[in-house]
Every structure is written in structure tokens, then in C-alpha cells.
Structure 1
């Protein structure tokens, strides 16, 4: 049985990715930071529905010590890593504190690098593995009032491309998924009118669904994508092309 680690598993996108992996027979390590009840609920659901082993692990990946704290809770080599951590801070660059800048970069970029570094040696030894980073459309094009987040996600995109070159000789694929607007609780901070206006700006005329992100992960972690590496797959309804 193969092992998968999903960070941010208690969120809307992470939960759908976890369900998909469980349906494919993976032993799962589900990471959460503060929402233990959601992680436990998902753990029980996946055990009951799919009969696979599911473990929950906790760490604050916005802190430098977070990746080590997470990795020490895992006892198995990881075959599939899905790094899916996200929290957006809106505001002008001049309004950001040094602490918030550091934590944003740590969560969205530095912890992804550190955790991957810990996982990769076992993948290299086995000559197989899939690493998938959930990034953002803002990592492709940048966004005003989300400059630090955009910078971190842009760095993550480049990390994917660079690492894919290092690991290709070991038959390990590294890819990213770049969602646009996805219907998650993160969108609840906007009014209905603001959300309608935003949907009108998207050529597809709607927001994406978390399951649509999980479908992309399912493809990239499958044998069908064994010759795809260093790619950032956009899921944005043709919003930015």
C-alpha cells in the first residue's frame, strides 16, 4: 500500500484531495494546524467509506520549526506529497508587518521546500514518487493587495520547475496546480455582490469547485502523467491564459 501526505487536509480543497487518494487505496497522513475536529471527522469518514489507514498529524507550517515537527510524526516513506497550505492576507504591502511577511513566505514557500527535502531521499531510493504543489493563479500573474502571497506562490512555481529537473533522473515527477477562484470558505469574506461581480469576470462564468482541483491531482499522481514534470496546471475557467 502506498503512502500519501496531504497538508492542509482539513480545508475544502485538502478534504477533496484526501477523499480522492483514499478512493485510490492510499494510506493517508492528513495534516492540519488548528482545526483538529475537522481533521478527525475526515479521518473517520475515510476509514469508514474506503477502509484505508488514515492518520492525522499536526504542525504550524507558518513557523520555521513546522516542517520538522510534522515529519517527526510520520513513520513511513511518502509516495505522494500534496502540499496544499493556504491562507490569504489582503492589504497594501506597506500595511504588512515583518512578522506577517515572514509567516506568509514560510507557509507558502519555505515549509514546502523543507518538507520536500525531508521526503525526497526515500523517493530517490525507490526511484519513484509524485510531488504536487497547490499554488495559485497569483503566482502566475501577481495580484495587487496580495503581493507577498503572490511572491511566495511565484517562488513555489519556480521551485517546482527547478526540482523537476533534479529529480527526473530518479523517475520522480514534480508538478504544480494553479487554481483560480475556488468555492471554499475563504470566499466567505466577500459579499454576494462582490462574488457575483468576480464570477462575471471569469470567462467560464463561475467559480471552480474543490473536486475539480482534486481531479487534477488525481491525474498528475497517476501513471498517465509519468512523462509530465515541471508543469504548472492552471485551473481557472480561462480567467488568466
Structure 2
């Protein structure tokens, strides 16, 4: 009998998602790595993890597309027979004045981030509810808590994830399904590529620990929330931000 748990991690070819996939795979999970554009990076990660003895599959899907999200979950069930953990990490970012945002840019941000969480969660829950157990971990951001100038659409979508998490946790509690949210601080990923070194240094100085976070910092929190050690934690927003918002 296969006792390994299975995790779907969206947006897992780069950044926080990639490090999360690595950590889950090396801690004994079956892992489905979702990607949308970065196929080469996803294939390379799969190769590296398989060489380390991990059981890993990759699947291309635009999580903002309901049918593609369903196909991804179905693929995971076909390959691994379960979906025990869903990590909703996939996102896009953009810095732009609110008055210059186009309706298309606003809608795309909501489609990928908010619709993506809805799509993947609804499909995964159909299996989790049958099993009467599961873990859903949604990635928000400190900007979903505090808001960010020139990122109103991103902040709005990430704030929506917090509300989604709390409401769904109430609905899923009686079914032994825990739903939590991780709201990272400023993390060293390619989402910071538009920032100057001066901007980054200012962010470091605003952070109590005087450094930016790493994908590993966030992945460790996600791994904990997926574990049995977090069975009594649900509906929570955990913000590994180095004290940025204090």
C-alpha cells in the first residue's frame, strides 16, 4: 500500500513554487509540478528530483482556465491516486499606476490569481471531500494585507485570497480539511527584477531582520502547514516577512 502523500504545487517551475516542490519531494511526497510557460525549467527540476529518488510529475496548465485546472487534477489522480495537499502558488505581478491600468490588465490579474485559486481548489476538493481529509495552502502576500502603491490590482487579488481562505476554512472544517494562507514578505525571486538595488536596500532596511526573504524561508512554512503537525491550524494567515509589517 502506498503511504506517500501527494501534493500539487502550482507555479512550481520558479521561485517559491520551485523551492516548495523541492522540499516536498525530498521529504517523501509525490509531487505534481505545475507550470504554464517555463517548460524547460520544469523538466530540469523534474530530472534533478528524480535523480534524487523523488516521485515527481510535471503538467502544463493555465490555472486561470477552469478546464485546464481540472485536467491537471485528473492527471494527478491518474498518476498518483490522490491529492492530499494543494499549494495554490501560481501568480503574476505587474507594477503600474492605477490610473494607467487597462481593464484587460485588471482582469488578467484576477483571472490568474483569484480564478486560479478557485479553479484548482474546487477540483481538488472533490477528491479531498471523498477522503474526508486534505490540506489547502494558498499563497497571498504582505501586499494583500497592507496594500502596495502601483500594485493595486495585485494587492486586491492577494487580499481576495485571504478572504477566500478564511471563508473556505469555515466551510471545510467539519470535513477535516484545513485551509490556510501564507503571506510572504519581500522574497528574492524574479518578481523583484523591476526593482533597483537602491529599492531593494530600502526594503532590507524596512525589514526587522535586515535581509530579504528566500524561497526556502517560505517553502518551510508551507511544508509545515501540509504536515500532521498543523492539523489543528486552519483559517490562518501566516506571514513570514522578517517583521516587515510591524
Under a length normalisation based on structure 2, what TM-score does the superposition of the two structures give? 0.93
Deviations 1:87-145 (A, max 9, x none): 21111122111111111001111110121011112111111111001110011111111
Q: Distance in 2 between matches of 1:63 and 1:150?
A: 21
The reply to whether residue 209 of structure 1 matches residue 211 of structure 2 is no
**Structure 2 matches for 1:98-109, cutoff 5 A?**
98-109=103-114
CA distance in 2, matches of 1:71, 1:221: 18
- Does residue 188 of structure 2 align to residue 186 of structure 1? no
1:17 maps to which of 16, 20, 26? 20
User: 1:165-180 alignment to 2 at 5 Å?
Assistant: 165-180=170-185
CA distance in 1, matches of 2:118, 2:224: 23
How big is the shift at 1:6? 0.4
Q: In the aligned structure 2, how far is the partner of 1:19 from the partner of 1:8?
A: 13
Structure 1 counterpart of 2:55: 53
SS of equivalent residue, structure 2 residue 193: helix
Q: Select 2:42's aligned residue among 36, 39, 42.
A: 39
The answer to whether residue 241 in structure 2 is matched with residue 221 in structure 1 is no
Instruction: Give the superposition deviation at 1:68.
Output: 3.4
Which residue matches 1:122?
127
Q: 8 Å contact 1:77–1:119 — kept in the other structure?
A: no
The question of whether the paired residues in 2 share the 8 Å contact of 1:62 and 1:104 is answered with: no
Offset of 1:194 from its aligned partner?
1.7
1:154-197, CA deviations, whole angstroms, 9 ceiling, x for partnerless residues?
A: 11101000101111111111000000100112212222122112
Kindly indicate whether residue 241 of structure 2 is the aligned counterpart of residue 236 of structure 1.
yes
Unaligned stretches of 5+ residues in structure 1? none
Residues 217/54 of structure 1: CA separation in 2 closer, same or farther (3 Å cut): same
Report if the CA contact (8 A) 1:202-1:238 is conserved. Answer: yes
Cα separation, 1, equivalents of 2:163 and 2:210: 30
Distance 1:139 1:42 in 2: 29
Match runs of 1:90-105 below 5 Å: 90-105=95-110
For the aligned residue pairs, the C-alpha RMSD in angstroms reads 1.4
Paired residue total: 240
Aligned partners of 1:185 and 1:128: how far apart in 2? Answer: 34
Deviation at 1:72, TM superposition (A): 4.4
Shift of 1:86: 2.1
Paired with 1:176 and 1:20, the residues of 2 have a C-alpha distance of 18
For normalisation by structure 1, the TM-score amounts to: 0.95
C-alpha distance in structure 2 between counterparts of 1:19 and 1:200, whole Å: 30
Offset, 1:69:
4.5
2:11 to 5, 8, 12: 8
